[in-house]
Chains A and B, each alone.
Chain A
Amino acid sequence: MIMALLTIITDNWWDIRDLSNLSHEIEKLIGDANGPAWLIYVVSGLLGAIGIVSFIGGVAVINIWVERRVVGRMQSRLGPNRLGPFGLLQPVADAIKLMQKEVLMPGTASGLIFTAAPIMFTVPGILLMAVLPWGRNMTLASLDVGVLFLLAASSLAALAVFMAGYSSDNKYALFGSMRVIAMLVSYEIPIVISLLGVVLFAGTMDLQGIVLFQEKYWAFMILLQPLAFFIYFISVSAELNRTPADIAEAESEIVGGYHTEYSGMKFGLFYAAELINAVVVSAIISTLFLGGWWAYKLDEIVPGWMIYIGKIYGVYFLFVWTRGTLPRFRIDQLLAFAWKWMTPMAILNLILVAAEVLVWDESGWSAGVMIPAFVVINGTLAIATVYAFMRLLAPKFERFPTALRFYSNIDVPSLPATADGAARAGTQTV
């Protein structure tokens, strides 16, 4: 009886398990008062936007604490624990610190571009949340070309990085931003091609359509496309400038990279944009690969958007896990990784998926046979591909290396033949 009551999602406007009830109620109110038709769109759009922006704002604050605490625990230390119970007020302290700092701008910097760069870095991230489905009827903007919209908006971040680096009038910032743009542009290709595999399976670029595909065939897309998930996860953590690809903002890098000259809340906006982008990308991964708001009939009891937020934080924990565990790559290692490993693997994945979809369409076998077959085939081929690439492309593992390993052999000139040089050469240990 209680289960029966719990599982029926009603149409009442106060039933928060389906937030579209609220917008239906507003639609009725405006329709009864004979308001103009476009007002309904504006009001329900504003409601959805307020919901999403409040989620983003909350996330930007909470994730500062989550990231530092979890990384601290992974590194066998406590993480922030001074301010408030378990250090929960640490984000508040960070915000106050950034707000009371003086916002400096270099005298020779172009003022408008300098100020606009952090804004342009943040806005595409928040814009991407608009196309994600939060429930069966809850999408702010249900686009037919949702996946392409995700790719297009995330490619605008490269321009923001250039604006930040160039307008600082600082050659180290320019170097840092050039490296970051090269990395961003290189990793866009594996992202696009691996998402094409998902779109081929689902047959639609609409994100709600992809979630419904996973619901219809009772399988998360990650089971059907493990290689695409692997490639997408690695490539997108490079796009987000997260470790192991955070060459832009690592503490030992060229001063501070593209945000050297930023201080105060402008730097705070860059920092918040990183966290917001990480959460948005986690949301994209959980929609495309992990089923979004659908979780094997669980969404009839628990509201869909709560399941979604749970999955977002699960994937975000994966990101924080890789940050706490893996060391950082050099820029030439990163670019070689993108072009020699990720792009060929993504193309192989695309060919495989296209062949599978063709076989599925042409033969008349039912989904109950094909989906488990695809799960098994794709899983084994993913493991085989990664293993083949490792055996063929990776440098040999030496237990006691005797020479430095570089992807391009750099000719190190020998020291000059002076007494000083000979003495130094004699005592030099490599």
Chain B
Amino acid sequence: MINDTGIVVAFYILAATTVGCALMVAFVRELVQAVLFLALAFVGIAGIYIVLSADFVAVVQVLIYAGAVAVLMTFAVMLTPAADRKNSSTAFWAPAAVLAGLVLVIIVFVSYDTNWQIANRPQFGATAAALGEALLKPYVVPFEVASVLLMTAMVGAIVLTKEEEGEDA
């Protein structure tokens, strides 16, 4: 149960900030501003992970999402100079909004209706060591498969953007 005053206040502030940043990603006019708001949303979500007592996952979130995926998106924006830099919507935004609203209603209904078995657990201890053990003992096969997946993604990204010899550089 999370019932320390400071942590409760922090959760609501962080939740409001993150939802605000996500809404700005959806509605702001420029693409670059949307990417930067997305990076801020990632950092806000990392704060929520810390409230949920997952400190290792929070730091990994900042390192990978805000530090690498956001930079990757800025690279994609910079490498496409003649593309439209406006963050506008297609003609299907109204059905998309209706669908998103329906999904939200379903999630709210399910989460409030189910009888969750809440455990009266204190904060987790050192999650990094426990996660390391979990990744190497019960979950070693997904760990190895994830490393193969990362190598495939690297090779794929390089092959997709490689220029053929003889073409104008």
Determine whether A and B are in direct contact in the complex, meaning some CB atoms lie less than 8 angstroms apart: yes
> Do A181 and B71 touch across chains, with their CB atoms under 8 A apart?
yes
Place the interface of chain B in its size category: 20 to 34
With A113-B33, A144-B55, A163-B36 as known contacts, state yes or no: A152 contacts B63, CB within 8 Å. yes
Main secondary structure of the interface of B (DSSP, over half): helix
> Do A185 and B68 touch across chains, with their CB atoms under 8 A apart?
yes
* Nearest-Cβ distance from residue A110 to partner chain B, whole angstroms: 7
With A158-B67, A174-B78 as known contacts, state yes or no: A145 contacts B39, CB within 8 Å. no
- Determine whether A352 belongs to the interface, using a CB cutoff of 8 Å to chain B: no
CB-defined interface of A175-191 with B at 8 Å, one 1/0 digit per residue?
A: 00010010001001000
- Determine whether B140 belongs to the interface, using a CB cutoff of 8 Å to chain A: no
Q: Nearest chain-A residue to B39 (Cβ)?
A: A159
> Do B5 and A162 touch across chains, with their CB atoms under 8 A apart?
no
> Do A155 and B67 touch across chains, with their CB atoms under 8 A apart?
yes
With A110-B30, A148-B56 as known contacts, state yes or no: A162 contacts B74, CB within 8 Å. yes
CB-defined interface of B1-40 with A at 8 Å, one 1/0 digit per residue?
A: 0001110000000000000000000000010110010010
CB-defined interface of A342-379 with B at 8 Å, one 1/0 digit per residue?
A: 00000000000000000000000000000000000000
| A148 to B68 CA separation, bound complex (whole angstroms) | 14
- Determine whether A149 belongs to the interface, using a CB cutoff of 8 Å to chain B: yes
With A113-B33, A113-B36, A166-B32 as known contacts, state yes or no: A159 contacts B63, CB within 8 Å. no
Q: Nearest chain-B residue to A178 (Cβ)?
A: B78
User: In the complex, what residues of B have CB within 8 A of residue A46's CB?
Assistant: none
Taking a contact as CB atoms closer than 8 A, the residue among A38, A113, A148, A155 that contacts B32 in the complex is: A113
| A16 to B100 CA separation, bound complex (whole angstroms) | 59
* Nearest-Cβ distance from residue B65 to partner chain A, whole angstroms: 10
* Nearest-Cβ distance from residue B55 to partner chain A, whole angstroms: 6
Taking a contact as CB atoms closer than 8 A, the residue among B36, B63, B70 that contacts A148 in the complex is: B63
- Determine whether A153 belongs to the interface, using a CB cutoff of 8 Å to chain B: yes
- Determine whether B48 belongs to the interface, using a CB cutoff of 8 Å to chain A: no
User: In the complex, what residues of A have CB within 8 A of residue B60's CB?
Assistant: 148, 152
* Nearest-Cβ distance from residue B87 to partner chain A, whole angstroms: 13
Chain A, range 59-116, C-beta contacts under 8 Å to B: 110, 113
Q: Nearest chain-A residue to B61 (Cβ)?
A: A152
> Do A158 and B32 touch across chains, with their CB atoms under 8 A apart?
no
Q: Nearest chain-A residue to B70 (Cβ)?
A: A159
Taking a contact as CB atoms closer than 8 A, the residue among B67, B126, B127 that contacts A152 in the complex is: B67
CB-defined interface of A201-236 with B at 8 Å, one 1/0 digit per residue?
A: 000010000000000000000000000000000000
> Do A145 and B36 touch across chains, with their CB atoms under 8 A apart?
no
| A80 to B59 CA separation, bound complex (whole angstroms) | 43
What number of A-B contacts does a CB cutoff of 8 Å give? 69
| A162 to B68 CA separation, bound complex (whole angstroms) | 13
| A152 to B71 CA separation, bound complex (whole angstroms) | 13
> Do B67 and A143 touch across chains, with their CB atoms under 8 A apart?
no
- Determine whether B75 belongs to the interface, using a CB cutoff of 8 Å to chain A: yes
CB-defined interface of B85-111 with A at 8 Å, one 1/0 digit per residue?
A: 000000000000000000000000000
User: In the complex, what residues of B have CB within 8 A of residue A156's CB?
Assistant: 62, 66-67
- Determine whether A151 belongs to the interface, using a CB cutoff of 8 Å to chain B: yes
With A145-B55, A166-B32 as known contacts, state yes or no: A152 contacts B78, CB within 8 Å. no
| A113 to B71 CA separation, bound complex (whole angstroms) | 15
User: In the complex, what residues of A have CB within 8 A of residue B150's CB?
Assistant: none
- Chain B residues within 8 Å of A, Cβ to Cβ: 4-6, 30, 32-33, 36, 39, 55-56, 59-60, 62-63, 66-68, 70-71, 74-75, 78, 126-128
Could you list 26 A-B pairs, sorted by A, with CB under 8 Å?
Answer: A38-B4, A38-B5, A38-B6, A110-B30, A113-B33, A143-B55, A144-B128, A145-B55, A145-B56, A145-B128, A148-B56, A148-B60, A152-B60, A152-B66, A155-B63, A155-B66, A156-B62, A156-B66, A159-B36, A159-B70, A159-B71, A162-B74, A162-B78, A178-B75, A181-B71, A188-B67
For the complex with contacts A159-B74, A178-B78, A185-B71, 13 further pairs of A-B residues with Cβ separation under 8 Å are A38-B6, A41-B6, A113-B33, A113-B36, A143-B55, A144-B56, A145-B59, A152-B67, A155-B62, A162-B71, A166-B78, A167-B32, A181-B74
- Minimum-distance CB pairs A-B, first 3: A155-B67, A152-B63, A152-B62
